[in-house]
Structure formats: C-alpha cells, structure tokens
C-alpha cells in the first residue's frame, strides 16, 4: 500500500503487461525502445540489401544491353570497312581509283539507302561488283540502279540482277532475256554499249514504283 504523498504509477505496455513503479516502468521502456530500435535497424538493413540487389541487377542488365549494342556497332563498322575496301580494290583493278572517286560512289550508296530498304554497305558491295562489268564508275552506278529497278520488279536477288545485267556488256542476253523480253531485241553491239542498263524503259512505271518500296 502506498504511503501518503506517494504516487502509484501503473503503466500498460505494448505487450499487454501491466507494470507498477517508476523504476520498473523505466526498465521496461528501455527494453521496448531497444526492441523498436532493433526492428528498425533490421528493417533498414533488409531494405538496403533489397535496394542494393535491385540496383546491381539493373546495372548488370544495362551493361549487358550496352555490350550487345556496342558489339553490333563494331560488326556494322567492320562490314562497312570491308565493303569500302572491296570497292577500292575494284576501282584499282579498273584503273579508276582515286579517293574522290571512291567517296563519290559511297555517297551514291548513301542516297540509295535513304530511298530504299537497302543498307549502304550492301550497295557498295554491288558497286564493286558492277565496276567489274562497267566501263566507267558512272556506268557502274547506272548498272546498280538498273539492277535495283529489276529486282524491285521481279522480286529477285539484287546481286544476281547486277550479274545478269553486267553480262550483257559481253553482248549476251543470257538470263536477263527471260525476265525482260525486250532485251532480246537489242543487237550485240547495243548490248555491248550498255543499252540493257536502261531497264526503266522496258518496265515503265512498274520498276520505279518497285524501287520506292524495295
């Protein structure tokens, strides 16, 4: 029983227990505070651990994606380099190589890329092939342009179209005559002069439309 003037302190704690007395209440309060602090610390540690794991996973995914893009960039650059090297070699074999001549044909390939679905490196490869048939760099451009028209019209392979048209410089109709009947009306001299290049006249409208969608 409390003495007169004393104050009985009765406290109900979070766990449902009731304690009496200031000293006991203070001790229990300290224990509760330690428990709350421990729970908060554990929660923070878990939170940091989850956040760190998520950040690491995100970094790994981003790094992997960047590596793929970088690798594709290197591959594309290598293909472009090989195509230009092939073009320059073809120009040298024809005796018409200059830095400006090579750049001019590369610019032509770039314009083709802008207006078709063909990559400029692929067009450069066809220009290198065409230069082996044509009598000049400008004629090689015209040959590739005609081959693009032909492939757009027939749905055939562009490289094969370059070859088929290129063969006509030897005065031969060849496989081109099976696709473009009017080529068979050309004389050997006309074929040798490059008359078969002008395929747009053999398929007016149709080739040009195909070219835009090729």
Which pLDDT score is estimated for 88?
98
- Other Cβ atoms less than 10 A from the Cβ of 118: the count is 18
pLDDT of residue 187: 93
Under the banding of pLDDT at 50, 70 and 90, the label for residue 41 is low
Asked whether the predicted pLDDT for residue 214 surpasses 50, the reply is no
Domain ranges of the chain: 78-213
CB-based contact 169:194 (threshold 8 Å)? yes
Give the global pTM.
Answer: 0.62
Tokens (6 digits) for 112:
């083709």
Mean pLDDT of all residues belonging to the chain: 78
In the structure, what pLDDT confidence band is assigned to residue 201 with cuts at 50, 70 and 90?
very low
Please compute the mean of the pLDDT values over residues 81-92 and round it to a whole number.
97
pLDDT for position 71 = 57
Does residue 206 surpass a pLDDT of 80?
no
CA-based torsion, 57, 63, 69, 71: positive or negative = negative
């Amino acid at each position: 029983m409390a003495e007169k003037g004393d104050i009985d302190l009765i406290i109900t704690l979070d766990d449902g227990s009731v304690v009496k007395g200031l000293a006991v209440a203070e001790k229990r309060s300290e224990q509760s505070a330690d428990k709350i602090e421990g729970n908060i610390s554990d929660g923070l540690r878990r939170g940091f651990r989850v956040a760190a794991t998520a950040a690491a996973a995100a970094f790994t995914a981003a790094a992997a994606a960047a590596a793929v893009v970088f690798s594709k960039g290197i591959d594309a650059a290598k293909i472009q380099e090989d195509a230009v090297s092939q073009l320059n070699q073809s120009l040298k074999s024809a005796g018409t190589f200059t830095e400006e001549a090579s750049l001019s044909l590369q610019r032509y390939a770039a314009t083709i890329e802008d207006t078709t679905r063909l990559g400029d490196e692929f067009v450069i490869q066809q220009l290198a092939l065409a230069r082996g048939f044509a009598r000049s760099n400008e004629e090689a451009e015209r040959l590739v342009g005609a081959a693009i028209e032909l492939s757009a019209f027939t749905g055939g392979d562009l490289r094969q179209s370059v070859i088929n048209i290129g063969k006509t410089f030897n005065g031969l109709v060849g496989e081109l005559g099976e696709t473009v009947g009017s080529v068979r009306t050309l004389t050997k001299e006309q074929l040798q002069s490059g008359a078969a290049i002008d395929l747009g006249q053999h398929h007016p409208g149709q080739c040009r439309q195909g070219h835009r969608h090729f």
